[in-house]
């Protein structure tokens, strides 16, 4: 019987042919955690007698949520996790300043067709490269670190086709918000969204990473981009590895629970208004809303193209809102530095720093005060997510965020130019 990509990946990982609804035990290719969740993973491991790590080469640890530590508690947590990594000789350990875990996974580790499990909900980001990627709780991840296995309910595959090309300034974030507008945040429960990019459609890797990142906001078990030339070229350029595309493609006659075609040229510049990711509106519906803070970064939109778009708009101009820009990894930061984007952003009045999740979770390096309005390229705008429960957060793509910082209120790039 023909199989979808999801079924193929989980069949390989379980050693038997699977179908939607099956409960299977799978071998995990990559398991990952960061500073905050890592503390709890290690706590659980310490309760398991004679616990050992199943394969140190498959464990990735990165400090990203509260870095550098803004308080004693964060410092103590990182000290404990750092000691764990050093004592167990974990070579894939990324200390303060390396960047955000999900970006590092894309840059250095994940391959198409893998099963990737992380102790963070936005592990779904790795689906951009054609992996089945899912976030789990600390106890489940601790069990994987010890055994190399986990159990899953095989989700129903859903086919999403991206067709046509985006208009100027419209990015992958707007596509993710469009999907949230259409399907809302609970539709894809127990489904794996398999994204096909139509021939002739330009949808770069950075945009795919953003959509995959927001897959968990759509409540999908996973969101997987079916590998095509974009993925093959990325793997070749980043890893020097030539892929066998046939082994990581769904069968031609695979069955899907449903399908949907998104015409990219019809996608507008969008925002998610407070306090839900699926409270999606066009920018024109909320334009003129005063913005106290703009945040450009996070595992959703801290990539090179996000900084390029921001710098293009800000070149020769000055921001009117406080603007924090955080590249998602050291690699992105260094490349943006070489290309002059960092200089442009700093000259425009932005605060630019290393890869950290801080503002996204209301942790540090930019916490919203009461009655403040934040326009953020991050992935969640729940009540109190970025600071005070009396603040309001609008989610947007980088072009709208950069334009808003320049206008001092929510606006479109065209209003700046």
Q: Which of 103, 99, 92 is nearest to 64 (CA)?
A: 99
User: How crowded is residue 219: how many other Cβ atoms within 10 Å of its Cβ?
Assistant: 16
In the chain the first and final C-alpha atoms are separated, in Å, by 54
Q: How many Å separate Cα 24 from the centre of its chain? A: 26
SS3 345: helix
SS3 31: strand
Rounded Cα–Cα distance for residues 258 and 321 (Å):
43
Rg (the chain; Cα; Å): 20
pLDDT at 51: 84
Residue-wise pLDDT tens digits, 262-294: 999 999 999 999 999 999 999 999 999 999 999
Asked if residues 129 and 234 have their Cβ atoms less than 8 Å apart, the reply is yes
The model's confidence at residue 387, banded by pLDDT at 50, 70 and 90, is very high
Global confidence as pTM: 0.96
Q: What is the largest CA-CA distance in the chain?
A: 63
Asked if residues 209 and 238 have their Cβ atoms less than 8 Å apart, the reply is no
Domains of the chain: residue spans and CATH: 5-264 (3.30.499.10), 270-416 (3.30.499.10)
Say yes or no to pLDDT of 369 above 90: yes
Say yes or no to pLDDT of 116 above 90: yes
The model's confidence at residue 246, banded by pLDDT at 50, 70 and 90, is low
β-pairing, 280-282 vs 270-272, is antiparallel
Rounded Cα–Cα distance for residues 233 and 242 (Å):
8
């Amino acid at each position: 019987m023909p199989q979808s990509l999801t079924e193929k990946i989980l069949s390989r990982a379980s050693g038997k042919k699977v179908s939607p609804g099956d409960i299977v035990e799978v071998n995990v290719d990559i398991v990952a955690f960061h500073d905050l969740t890592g503390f709890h993973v290690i706590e659980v491991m310490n309760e398991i007698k004679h616990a050992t790590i199943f394969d140190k080469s498959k464990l990735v640890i990165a400090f990203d949520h509260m870095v550098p530590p803004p308080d004693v508690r964060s410092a103590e947590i990182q000290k404990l996790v750092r000691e764990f990594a050093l004592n167990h000789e974990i070579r894939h350990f990324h200390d303060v300043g390396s960047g955000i875990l999900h970006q590092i996974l894309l840059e250095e580790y994940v391959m198409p067709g893998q099963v990737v499990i992380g102790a963070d909900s936005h592990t779904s980001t790795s689906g951009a490269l054609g992996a089945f990627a899912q976030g789990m709780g600390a106890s489940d991840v601790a069990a994987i670190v010890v055994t190399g296995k986990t159990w899953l309910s095989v989700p129903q595959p859903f086919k999403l086709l991206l067709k046509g090309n985006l208009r100027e300034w419209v990015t992958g974030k707007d596509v993710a918000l469009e999907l949230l507008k259409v399907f809302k945040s609970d539709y894809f429960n127990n489904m794996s969204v398999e994204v096909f990019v139509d021939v002739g459609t330009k949808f770069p890797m950075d945009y795919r990473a953003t959509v995959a990142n927001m897959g968990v906001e759509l409540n999908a078990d996973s969101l997987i981009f079916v590998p095509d030339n974009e993925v093959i070229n990325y793997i070749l350029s980043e890893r020097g590895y030539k892929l066998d595309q046939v082994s990581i493609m769904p069968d031609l006659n695979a069955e899907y629970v449903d399908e949907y075609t998104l015409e990219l040229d019809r996608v507008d510049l969008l925002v998610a208004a407070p306090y839900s990711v699926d409270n999606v509106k066009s920018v024109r519906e909320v334009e003129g809303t005063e913005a106290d803070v703009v945040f450009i970064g996070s595992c959703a939109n801290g990539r090179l193209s996000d900084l390029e778009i921001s710098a293009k708009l800000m070149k020769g101009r000055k921001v009117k809102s406080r603007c924090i820009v955080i590249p998602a990894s050291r690699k992105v930061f260094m490349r943006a530095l070489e290309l002059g984007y960092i200089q442009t952003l700093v000259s425009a009045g932005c605060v630019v720093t290393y890869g950290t999740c801080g503002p996204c979770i209301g942790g540090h390096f930019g916490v919203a005060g009461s009655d403040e309005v934040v326009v953020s390229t991050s992935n969640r705008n729940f009540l109190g997510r970025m600071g005070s429960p009396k603040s309001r957060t609008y989610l947007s793509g980088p072009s709208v965020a950069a334009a808003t910082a320049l206008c001092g209120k929510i606006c479109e790039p065209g209003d700046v130019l």
